[in-house]
Amino acid sequence: MSFFSNNNNRVEVRFTTALLILAASLFALSLSSCKSHKNLTVNSRYDSEASIVKPPKAHGKLIEEAYTWIGTPYKYAAAEKGIGTDCSGFVMKVFYDALDYSIPRNTTKQAEFCSPVTDDTVQAGDLVFFATGKAAGKVSHVGIMVDSHQFIHASSSKGVVVSDLYKPYYRRTFVKFGRVPLN
């Protein structure tokens, strides 16, 4: 006698299968929400990709300087506060103006210059790199982390803004974090 020969057995199997799927889904949801809940909460201090003029307190000269660039329009191959900048020029000038420290001008070179940082040790002032161009995985955009999930960068469409790292676009194009070797 086949297990599926009786209609009552079919109903039991379907009901049991549905319960198992529901339980597995709830379990997976609970696991994924543990780590990501904090990260996906938008900090009320920021209106993502809006013009913010006050940096978070206690992040030092680097972040304070970066915030003075908010609203600077995007301009390829430029690095002038209030006039125009691209992403790597913005990062290079912020490090120089705030810390009197020179880093490479090119995004790819900046990524090579940095020490790797894991997502659980990333801090304000670390760099975040993205592959936004046509070549998959090739670093083509950079920003400066201002906390564990917000970064400031020169967006090609909006100029210098603060953005949320956990927005789908940035999650999809994220390559790595890097720490500028200041010592």
Q: Are strands 115-117 and 127-130 parallel, antiparallel or unpaired?
A: unpaired
Question: Number of C-alpha atoms within 13 angstroms, CB side, residue 176?
Answer: 16
Active site amino acids: 87, 141, 153
Give the Cβ contact number of residue 91 at 10 Å.
Answer: 26
Of 182, 183, 178, the closest CA to residue 62 belongs to 182
With beta carbons less than 8 A apart as the criterion, state whether 130 and 174 touch. yes
With beta carbons less than 8 A apart as the criterion, state whether 48 and 42 touch. yes
Of 124, 164, 116, the closest CA to residue 145 belongs to 124
- The per-residue DSSP string of 3-21 comes to TTSSHHHHHHHHHHHHHHH
